[in-house]
Amino acid sequence: MANLFETAYDCIMVTDPLEKVRTTQEVAQLWRNAQLSVTTVHLISIPTPGQPVNLQLVSPKQLPQRKLSTLEGRAALLHALAHIEFNAINLAWDAIYRFHDLPTEFYTDWIQIAEEESQHFALLQAQLQQLGYDYGDFPAHNGLWEMAVDTAHDPLVRMALVPRVLEARGLDATPPIIAKLEQQDLQAIVDILHIILRDEIGHVAAGTRWFNYLCNIQQLSPQATFSSLIYKYFKGRLKGQFNIEARLAAGFTQAELNYLKTTFG
C-alpha cells in the first residue's frame, strides 16, 4: 500500500503544472478508496516546491502593473491567479506531508482542498492558454511558499497563518476583482472566480476548524493565540477591507473580525 506522506511529497515536487493536477487528483482518489497508509515517514525540508523551470520569482514590488483592457493585462491577471492556485496545491499537500499523527479527518480535509485547488488551477490555465500564454510566462512572487517554510514547525501556526490569513485575503480580494472583470465583460473569468470564492470559504473554514482543534488540545485561547500570531508574523503587513460575510461563513468569530477591523481596517 502506498504511503500518504510520501505521495504528498511527490505531489509537491512535480514541476509540470498539468502533471501536478493529474497526480493530485489521482492521489485524492486513492485516499477515497482507502489505498493509502498513514505510517510516519522521515521529513525533509522543502525550500522550493516543484514548479515550472521557466517561472521567474521576484519581489511583489517588482511585479509590473498591467491594465485589464489589454490582452497582456488580462493574461497577467490570469497568471497571477493561477500562481496562487498552483501554490495552494503545494500548500495543501505540505500540510499533509509536514504534520503527522493528526486525526484522519485532517488529511481528508486537506486532500479535498488540494484536489479543489488543482481544479481551480486547471480552469485558470485553460483561460490563460486561450489568450496564447502559459503558466510560467510572467514573473510571480513566492510569498505563499515562504510562509509555508516559516510555519513548517507547528500545525497550529500553519492553520492560523496560511488558511486564516493568506487564503482568507482571497475572500477579501476576489469580489473587487470580479467587479472589475464584469466591467470589462469578461464573464468566463468571472464564472471561474465565483467557483473559487465558493470553494475558498470551505478551505478557510477547514483552517479555522483545525486551528480551533489544536488550540483546544493545548488549552489555548483561539482568539488570543490568533492575535498574537498575526502580530508576530504580519505586523504592519495586513490591510483592510475585509469580506465580513465570507469570513463569518468560514468560521471567523465576530470578535476576531472586530479585532481585524480595529487593527488593520
Judge whether residue 92 has pLDDT over 80.
yes
Conformational region of residue 2, where left means phi above 0, alpha means psi within -120 to 50, and beta covers everything else? beta
pLDDT of residue 65: 85
The three three-digit cell numbers of residue 64, written as one number: 509590473
Task: Write down the pLDDT at residue 236.
Answer: 65
Respond yes or no on whether the N-terminal peptide bond of residue 112 is cis (omega within 30° of 0).
no
pLDDT at 264: 84
- Answer CATH for 69-264 from 1.10.357, 3.30.450, 1.10.3470, 1.20.1260: 1.20.1260
Q: What's CA 161's distance to the chain center, in Å?
A: 11
pLDDT attached to residue 115 = 98
Share above pLDDT 90 across residues of the chain, in percent, rounded to a whole number: 88
d(CA 217, CA 90): 27
DSSP conformational letter for 56: P
The residue count for the chain: 265
> Is 0.75 surpassed by the pTM of this model?
yes
Per-domain boundaries in the chain: 69-264
Average pLDDT over residues 251-255: 96
pLDDT of residue 63: 85
Instruction: Look at 66-75, 77-86, 163-172, 246-255 and tell me which has the smallest mean pLDDT.
Output: 66-75
> pLDDT (tens digit, 9 = 90+) per residue, 185-217?
999 999 999 999 999 999 999 999 999 999 999
pLDDT tens digits for range 93-146: 999 999 999 999 999 999 999 999 999 999 999 999 999 999 999 999 988 899
Which helix H or strand E contains 212, and what residues bound it? helix 187-217
Whether the pLDDT of residue 67 is over 90: the answer is no
